[in-house]
Amino acid sequence: MTEDEIVAAIGQLCRPEPFDYAQDERRRGRPRVMLGIGDDAALWQPSRSHRSAISSDMLLEGIHFTRAAMSLEDAGWRAMAANLSDLAAMGARPVLATVALGVPQADGVGQILELYRGLAACAGRSKVEIAGGDLSRAPALTICITVVGEVRASQAKTRAGGRPGDVLAVTGPLGGARAGLVLTGSPLPIEGELRDAALRAFRHPVVRGAEGRFLAASVNVHAMMDCSDGLSTDVDRLSAASECGASLESIPVAPAARALAELQEEDPERFALAGGEDFELLVAVAPRAFTHLAARFAAHFRRELLRVGTLHEGRGVLWQGAPLARLGWDHFTSGADGS
Amino acid sequence: MTEDEIVAAIGQLCRPEPFDYAQDERRRGRPRVMLGIGDDAALWQPSRSHRSAISSDMLLEGIHFTRAAMSLEDAGWRAMAANLSDLAAMGARPVLATVALGVPQADGVGQILELYRGLAACAGRSKVEIAGGDLSRAPALTICITVVGEVRASQAKTRAGGRPGDVLAVTGPLGGARAGLVLTGSPLPIEGELRDAALRAFRHPVVRGAEGRFLAASVNVHAMMDCSDGLSTDVDRLSAASECGASLESIPVAPAARALAELQEEDPERFALAGGEDFELLVAVAPRAFTHLAARFAAHFRRELLRVGTLHEGRGVLWQGAPLARLGWDHFTSGADGS
């Protein structure tokens, strides 16, 4: 079974009947959960006019990061960024985070506080307060973060709203974090600004929070998610949730990823398609609105909204006209280590 | 450093300045986090009339539970109960939970779904939906749960409201879960209903959710928390947060705990004082209101609100007139295994 299949079986256990929000409200007499397992975040309604979004992630030393590749402060930053990115992908403004930490015997207060410095720095950048959590011993350093945010009901974006004909676009070039991961353990002759940019993308990813809220505010953005597992996997998830197929046309490749792929005699676009954890946002946009939206986006953020393909009737992802398998990481079909 | 000292240092990192809610609202122009690190749950204000409470816990195989002592279904139930108990201790009604799961290579879909059956059963009992989470490989089975609930602003109870003279009381006898833990690995001759009750207390604890909301609704309940780390530790935490000292007078001991302690020639009250994870609630009640509140509680729930002592001026916890050290578990000063 793949990770997605296990998640579907879990969803079935946790909510045996298909969800009918109106019926739920009639029966229980008060608002409840509106979007459950399977998207970037869950949504609920704390009052009639508000929506809250929540997302949890677990990161483990040896599986999601190693101390050889980054400092504990960087690991804390990256863990918090990954979670905040899930809220950005819903169009939600983050409010608070909780952090549950499992710490090996060998680590003391110094290590715990170093990790927290990274967590707090990344949270502070997004004006999020770390408001609680838990502390325990564990065989490997384990960071479990939950973030909560707020979003207007009309603006919450899921993976499921894409329509045939929609333009698929991302908020930045891809493959940078994968290049950074390779470079931390490699003597490859990539130096200077290219190397720094790749290591920064891997260790200190930027959350596209303001970009997410900007895109969520447009009725022409039909679906949104973040690129955390590689574009080939993420486009497959978005298009499947939207009951569409997708055609990828061109992949924007981060300069360091291009340099590294060429050095390794790999196809740069394929390298970028498989690279996870860039935390750029992937959107499906009404085709007639794309040019105008991209121009407004560029004016506002001084970065491009980059077209990567389109949604169409059917299923599956095509790249250069041929079916594309998922190139990213799956914890439950891949081997024991990975990103 | 103890766990509490590390948590205090983390709190300092996450919120460097003392918190002024009114100033925060003026500066940011909208409601934010109202109660952060250090209580059973954090509180925030999604809209002017509502409060939400959030709590996260991490449980690890080999540290918080073993498969020898309980099935994965029981481990799931217990993990969810521990979290829901934190919301009960705030007087909050739970709305949803997220579950991040780290699963060892040796476990397959069968084990994951067995654990989820216990999680979903306990959540269902409290009408909570599991609305999202994360799934990852991990060296040991790792369960990180976050629960979110709602509470009226006027009813949210913290650990900090106790006053000198208040009566300390608990919602049930203590030591049952500790007795169950001992009995899972022991041939001690305790049989029949006593043994069953102890194992049930350990493997299938009941969340005092309705009791928590009932107590929270009384203005005479000044402080509340759940008994998760042993009454000696928990009374010390509540009284310290309330800037009081405490005197313990009598400890209600669960029948199985009494039988087991006597068999081991231990003092039953001391056995119960050190026993964690009973998940009964501990309250500080205005002295003139206690008798009436306890009578209403007994009529409503057909169980007693049991007086254990009082708060007084000063610091520290007295038991039978002498200072009482914390007898419960501390992950950061105790050894490598424990409950």
Taking 70 as the threshold, does the pLDDT of residue B318 lie above it? yes
Task: Answer yes or no: are the C-beta atoms of B136 and A64 closer than 8 Å.
Answer: yes
- Domains annotated for chain B, with CATH where assigned, are 3-154 (3.30.1330.10), 157-323 (3.90.650.10)
Closest by Cα among B86, B245, B100 to A63: B100
- Among A residues 293-332, those touching chain B with beta carbons less than 8 Å apart: 331-332
User: Chain B interface, mutation test: which of A77, A137, A145, A333, most B Cβ atoms within 10 Å?
Assistant: A137
Quick check: B216 contacting A, CB < 8 Å?
Answer: no
State residue A49's pLDDT score. 65
Rounded Cα gap, residues A338 and B59, in angstroms: 24
Q: Taking CB atoms and an 8 Å limit, are A146 and B146 in contact across chains? A: yes
Q: Which residues are registered as beta bridge partners of A226?
A: A281
pLDDT band at residue A29 using 50, 70 and 90 as cut-offs: very low
Closest by Cα among A77, A82, A60, A56 to A141: A60
Instruction: Report which listed range, A291-295, A333-337, B69-73, B93-97, is most confident.
Output: A291-295
pLDDT band at residue B32 using 50, 70 and 90 as cut-offs: low
State residue B333's pLDDT score. 53
pLDDT band at residue A31 using 50, 70 and 90 as cut-offs: very low
Task: Answer yes or no: are the C-beta atoms of A16 and A29 closer than 8 Å.
Answer: no
Quick check: A129 contacting B, CB < 8 Å?
Answer: yes
Q: What number is the average pLDDT over the span B222-246?
A: 94
Mean predicted lDDT score pLDDT of chain B: 86
CA distances from A310 to A258, A318, B261 (A): 23, 10, 70
Taking 70 as the threshold, does the pLDDT of residue A120 lie above it? yes
Instruction: Report which listed range, B113-122, B195-204, B304-313, is most confident.
Output: B304-313
Q: What number is the average pLDDT over the span A255-262?
A: 94
pLDDT band at residue B49 using 50, 70 and 90 as cut-offs: low
pLDDT band at residue B213 using 50, 70 and 90 as cut-offs: very high
State residue B339's pLDDT score. 32
State residue B265's pLDDT score. 93
Quick check: B46 contacting A, CB < 8 Å?
Answer: yes
State residue B3's pLDDT score. 72
Contacts of A64 in chain B (CB under 8 A): 136
Quick check: B37 contacting A, CB < 8 Å?
Answer: yes
Question: pLDDT tens, A45-58?
Answer: 776 667 888 888 89
Contacts of B151 in chain A (CB under 8 A): none
Quick check: A132 contacting B, CB < 8 Å?
Answer: yes
User: Chain B interface, mutation test: which of A20, A125, A136, A158, most B Cβ atoms within 10 Å?
Assistant: A136
Quick check: A60 contacting B, CB < 8 Å?
Answer: yes
pTM of the model: 0.83
State residue B65's pLDDT score. 86
State the ipTM, two decimals.
0.79
Burial label, A182 (beta-carbon count in 10 A; 0-12, 13-18, 19+): buried
Number of H helices and E strands in chain A, helices first, is: 11, 13
State residue A311's pLDDT score. 98
Taking 80 as the threshold, does the pLDDT of residue A150 lie above it? yes
Contacts of A130 in chain B (CB under 8 A): 14-15, 36-37
Q: Taking CB atoms and an 8 Å limit, are B13 and A116 in contact across chains? A: yes
State residue B30's pLDDT score. 44
State residue B238's pLDDT score. 95
Question: pLDDT tens, B128-138?
Answer: 888 887 888 89
CA distances from A220 to A124, A229, A311 (A): 31, 25, 14
Question: pLDDT tens, B163-210?
Answer: 999 999 999 999 999 999 888 877 777 888 999 999 999 999 999 999
Closest partner CB to B98 (pick from A28, A54, A129): A54
Q: Is the C-alpha dihedral spanning A273, A278, A279, A281 positive or negative? A: negative
Quick check: A104 contacting B, CB < 8 Å?
Answer: no
Question: Which of the pair, A151 or B73, is modelled with greater confidence?
Answer: B73
State residue B128's pLDDT score. 87
Rounded Cα gap, residues B68 and A315, in angstroms: 46
Q: Taking CB atoms and an 8 Å limit, are B47 and A49 in contact across chains? A: yes
| H or E element in which residue A86 lies | helix A72-88
DSSP B18: -
Sheet holding B245-248, edge to edge: B221-226, B281-285, B167-170, B306-312, B245-248, B317-319, B322-323
Taking 90 as the threshold, does the pLDDT of residue A335 lie above it? no
Q: CB under 8 Å to A278, separation ≥6 — which residues? A: A172, A174, A175, A176, A177, A178, A201, A205, A227, A254
Contacts of A36 in chain B (CB under 8 A): 129-132
Rounded Cα gap, residues B39 and A180, in angstroms: 39
With CA atoms as reference, the chain A residue closest to B28 would be A127
Contacts of A95 in chain B (CB under 8 A): 32-33, 44
Question: Which of the pair, A228 or A3, is modelled with greater confidence?
Answer: A228
State residue A34's pLDDT score. 58
